[in-house]
Structure 1
Amino acid sequence: MTITILGSGAFGTALAITLATNGDIILVARDAKTAAQIDADRENKRRLPGYKLPPNVTVTDKLTGEGTILIATPTQQLSTILLQEQAALRNRPLIACCKGVDLKSGLGPVGLMQKADLGGPIGILSGPSFAKDIAAGLPTALTLAMSDDGTNLQNALSTPTLRLYLTDDWRGVELGGALKNVIAIACGVAIGSGLGESARAAILTRGFSEMRTYAEALGARTDTLMGLSGLGDLTLTASSETSRNFRYGLGIGAGNTWTSEETVEGAATAKAMASLNHGKMPIIETVAALVDKQITVQDAVKSLLNRALKKES
């Protein structure tokens, strides 16, 4: 089975490297220049330097062929891509490998694919993973969520170092992957502003409570949020400077401006969620206000600490 990966960022490139263990891979870059550079170097020197592409990875800028497509583009670009590439995507299995909530529609990756209605099976792949770990062949476990039977894809996308667990709770996987990025920003703010490790632990825990409350209200299952794509992904993203969302929060806390070209999905997700849940998710709404520079870190701390005391839930 040939797998096509749409998106040649760090994660898409890493997936191409590890999945080439199982068979031929087509890696689709955003333009001809990028594809030519990656193919000539056999390495994505801009997004994932130091990791060579195996010989059976074909790099192109054209989406053609048949079979499963893994979409590893930023969530904020997904709606446009589904529209522009609808002819090539129609009736093919589509697996989102991106996390977040679209600012315009309020939908996650699966919701956007459902709205596009391209006729094939859809799903989402998510969990605690850094691109460099996957590319290096370090042990990684992810969750594949499919509304249809995803057993064949689970087998096709698992490798000796990449282990996939299967679920039909796509909503829980989608929301877990989106919301954890926002909490990771908050944890980064805590460390960057010198609030300390205890503050980060409190934010991570109470932030996870917000994630569960919101996701379960929309029909997600508790065990999904407690699993790889929820708590597992949150633990990794909120505790490592390899995480761009955590680094973004560090910058906010330290008063620095984000200058990296890397996509920070948690920033857009925070704003999308805050517009829907006034007063219901204080940490997430606080992150949205910090991202938009509506409040200072000092204001944020004061607001959160001055909330009415309550029972833990």
Structure 2
Amino acid sequence: MTRIAIAGAGAFGTGLAIALARAGHQVTLWARDPAHALHMRERHENVTRLPGVRLPEAITPTGIFADLVGADAILLAMPMQTLAGFLAEHHLTLNGAPLVACCKGIDLRSGLGPTGLILSRCPESTPAILTGPSFATDIARGLPTALTLACRDSATGKALQKLLSTPALRLYQSTDTIGAELGGALKNVIAIASGIVVGAGLGDSARAALMTRGFAEMVRLAQAFGAETETLSGLSGLGDLVLTCTSDQSRNFRYGRALGQGKDFDTAITVEGATTATAVATIAKDRGIDMPVTTMVAAVVGGTYSVADATEALLARPLKEE
């Protein structure tokens, strides 16, 4: 029987663990906090992150990192801004292992995406990224979900696709890791902007326009980094964009809506799009890439622009052809 290890016992890591265990795999689910792992073992549930869904017996929660070693694949399911520190701490153990990133964003310090970070610390590994339109609760409940599994090495990607697919979790293979990474990262920024539009009461027509122009920005940046346009039109780009810009389950959308309403947002909730907006706005400025929506999101998140100022600035942009 195959064994899959998941580093990160948040909602998404737990949801993947449940889906893979139901498909017949033995799953080792590592939590950074040993007390959290013990609680999951005793309660057969991740009460704090994914309440109400029982953990199958095939899942072994653990707080011991060494328990991940030797798995057929190790999934890194943690917030993007913690990935670099995790790899710095454990790279000697992980180097050469089959690693699959399950996070979305751009590292604020290095400007790298998930697979780039992995390669910088684990050069003997062939990293992949699992991304696309999905919510942890849907995956845990066994609802149909389709994701992109991107890996530069086609043979490795096909093997991981076969290993990680389940009857309800359908994976589509790609070799365009750059496109898959940027699609997953940038859609969070546009989701914040969509939330701002809704929170400020600007209407659904404005949200549709924002999503469309935001997608154009995603494509421009991805092309500048050598990504394939088709990737951005797929699950890891457009598909994920639609989901996160229209659902209350999206943390980035809810965060943007709170900004638009002038309300506080729970600081304990990870909002990847906020740090991604800051990183991408800097990259776009340095490389001369026109990304007005992303730039305004970064300014609003950073407190240098109000929502009203950002809206006025975007509407005052010169008219041009689409």
For residues 83 and 298 of structure 1, what CA distance do their matches in structure 2 show?
41
Aligned positions of 1:114-193 closer than 5 A: 114-148=119-153, 149=155, 150-193=157-200
Residues 233-252 of structure 1: matches in 2 within 5 Å? 233-252=240-259
Q: 2: distance between equivalents of 1:115 and 1:91? A: 12
Letter in 2 for 1:253: G
Q: Which runs of 5+ in 1 are unaligned?
A: none
Which aligned pairs between 1:45-56 and structure 2 lie closer than 5 A?
45-56=47-58
The alpha carbon displacement at 1:87 in A equals 2.6
Cα deviation, 1:98-126, whole Å, max 9, x if unaligned, reads 00011111111111111113412211000
Q: List per-residue Cα deviations over 1:137-179 (Å, max 9, x = no partner).
A: 0000000001112111101100010000001000000000000
Higher helix share: 2
Instruction: Provide, for residues 233-286 of structure 1, a one-character-per-residue CA deviation record: whole Å limited to 9, x for no partner.
Output: 000000001000000000000001111522100000000011122272000010
Residue 31 of structure 2 is matched in structure 1 by 29
CA RMSD, 1 decimal: 0.9
For residues 200 and 95 of structure 1, the distance between their equivalents in structure 2, rounded to whole angstroms, comes to 33
Identity %: 53
Deviations 1:65-117 (A, max 9, x none): 21310000101000110011113212101100000011111111111111113
Q: Where does residue 6 of structure 2 map in the other structure?
A: 5
Of 272, 291, 306, the match for 1:265: 272
Decide whether the 8 Å contact of 2:75 with 2:99 is kept in 1: yes
Q: Is the 8 A contact 2:119 2:125 kept in 1?
A: no
Q: Quick one: distance in 1 between partners of 2:159 and 2:308?
A: 51
**Unaligned ranges ≥5, structure 2:** none
Residue number in structure 1 paired with 2:203: 196
Contact 2:106 2:114 in 1 (8 A): yes
2:90 maps to 1:77? no
Q: Secondary structure at the match of 1:101?
A: coil
> What is the TM-score with the length of structure 2 in the denominator?
0.95
What is the TM-score of this pair, normalised by structure 1? 0.98
Q: Is the CA contact (8 Å cut-off) linking 1:86 and 1:118 kept in structure 2?
A: no
* Contact kept in structure 1, 2:95 and 2:121, CA below 8 Å: no
Q: 1:92 — aligned with what?
A: 97
What is the CA–CA distance in structure 1 between the aligned matches of 2:320 and 2:291, rounded to whole Å? 14
**Cα distance per residue 1:209-255 (max 9 Å; x no partner):** 00001101111101100000000000000000100000000000000
Amino acid in structure 2 at the alignment position of 1:34 = H
For the Cα contact (< 8 Å) 1:89–1:118, is it kept in 2?
no
- 1:3 aligned counterpart, secondary structure: strand
Question: Is the 1:274–1:284 contact (alpha carbons within 8 Å) kept by the matching residues of 2?
Answer: yes
Shift of 1:201: 0.4
Residues 96 and 122 of structure 2 are in contact (CA less than 8 Å); yes or no, is this contact kept in structure 1? no
2:312 aligned residue: 302
Aligned-partner residue type, residue 222 of structure 2: A
Secondary structure of the residue aligned to 1:275 is helix
How far apart, in 2, do the equivalents of 1:153 and 1:293 lie?
A: 42
Matching residue within 48, 52, 66 for 2:70: 66
Match of 2:263 in 1: 256
User: Which of structure 1's runs of 4+ aligned residues deviate more than 2 A?
Assistant: none
CA distance in structure 1 between the aligned counterparts of 2:273 and 2:219, rounded to whole angstroms: 17
Q: Secondary structure at the match of 1:274?
A: helix
Selected match of 1:276 from 283, 294, 300: 283
* 1:91 counterpart SS class: coil
Residue 300 of structure 1: how far off its partner (Å): 0.6
Amino acid in the other structure paired with 2:7? L
